[in-house]
Amino acid sequence: MASNVNPTVRRRRLGQELRRLRELKGMTAEEVAERLLVSQSKISRLENGRRSISQRDVRDLCGVYEVEDQRVVESLMEMARDSRQQGWWHAFGDIPYSVYIGLETDAESLRVYEPQLVTGLLQTRAYAEALVQGALPETSAADIEKRVQVRMRRQERITAEHNPLRLWVVLDEAALRRLVGNRLVMREQLEYLLEMSQQPHITVQVLPFECGAHPGLNGQYAILEFADAADSSVVYLEGVTSDLYLEKAHDVQKYAVMYEHLRAQSLNVEQSRQFIADAAKEYAR
């Protein structure tokens, strides 16, 4: 059973529970940090699930919060043990967006807006290789292969026979027009995109240039939603040196409304498929 535990999600749930206990005690993160002689940033990272939580951390925090129910303490300690396990992605070494992979692995649905590229879950191997080579020109061949392997492994979530990830993608027309690799790579990529868009759990819409200004001009983002009500939705914003995860309800709601506007301004599903098919034919010529 433990081997099936997602450590990223378990850290998130544990962090949320520790935050709840702190707030019930009426304490600020600064006050807790002062009591434990640690930095406030450590308390914040523990509560937002970005840092591994040890059983000692849980014990010390439960002491500060005066948790008397031993069953609660033991449950939190077990969550701490599970949160220190390694997900499948750790076998590939240091992956810069490992937190995101952990969330994506456990998500029930994913809404993505991509202004420049075909989204990773729908990329062919050839497209992914050319993309990594172009985006990270100083990366070694071994690291490029590792990144591509991780990307291909992530795609198992949308090809799973049971309970596949529900995926909704809005692609800017630029993602179809940007030549990644060569014309053959692009033709095969768009044909694969067209094929995957036929799956009942995958929706692809194209946002054409002619729609003009739109709410997605600030860049790419993804909204992850989870089956367990205890896991709040997350907005993921990818950065060059660090990523941003938004979990506050009003932040998530703002991006969700933006996404609805993007879907409304995009071509419908059938029009999008025709648009992708026409673009693939252009690369064939």
State the distance between the two ends of the chain, measured CA to CA, in whole angstroms: 53
- Contact assessment for residue 216 and residue 206, using Cβ atoms and an 8 Å cutoff: no
| Band of residue 130 on the pLDDT scale cut at 50, 70, 90 | very high
| Band of residue 3 on the pLDDT scale cut at 50, 70, 90 | very low
pLDDT in the model for residue 150: 92
Q: What is the pLDDT of residues 151-172, one digit of tens each?
A: 999 999 999 988 899 999 999 9
C-alpha–C-alpha distance, residues 222 and 136, integer Å: 22
pLDDT in the model for residue 90: 65
Give the three-state DSSP class for 243.
coil
| Band of residue 86 on the pLDDT scale cut at 50, 70, 90 | low
**Single-letter amino acid code for the residue at 16:** Q
- Residue 134: pLDDT over 60: yes
- Residue 285: pLDDT over 90: no
Lowest mean pLDDT among 61-70, 87-96, 207-216: 87-96
User: Mind listing the domains of the chain with CATH numbers?
Assistant: 2-85 (1.10.260.40), 89-284 (3.30.870)
Quote the strand ranges of 91-187, DSSP E.
Answer: 109-114, 166-172
In angstroms, how far apart are the furthest CA atoms of the chain?
72
Q: What is the pLDDT of residues 62-71, one digit of tens each?
A: 888 888 888 8
Taking each continuous run of H as one helix and of E as one strand, the counts in the chain are 13, 6
- Residue 1: pLDDT over 80: no
Chain mean pLDDT for the chain: 88
Q: What is the pLDDT of residues 35-83, one digit of tens each?
A: 888 888 888 888 877 677 888 888 888 888 888 888 888 888 887 877 6
Of 118, 152, 147, the C-alpha closest to 133 is 147
Lowest mean pLDDT among 17-31, 82-96, 163-177: 82-96
% pLDDT > 90, the chain: 50
Q: Model pTM? A: 0.77
pLDDT in the model for residue 230: 65
pLDDT in the model for residue 112: 97
pLDDT in the model for residue 269: 97
C-alpha–C-alpha distance, residues 142 and 269, integer Å: 38
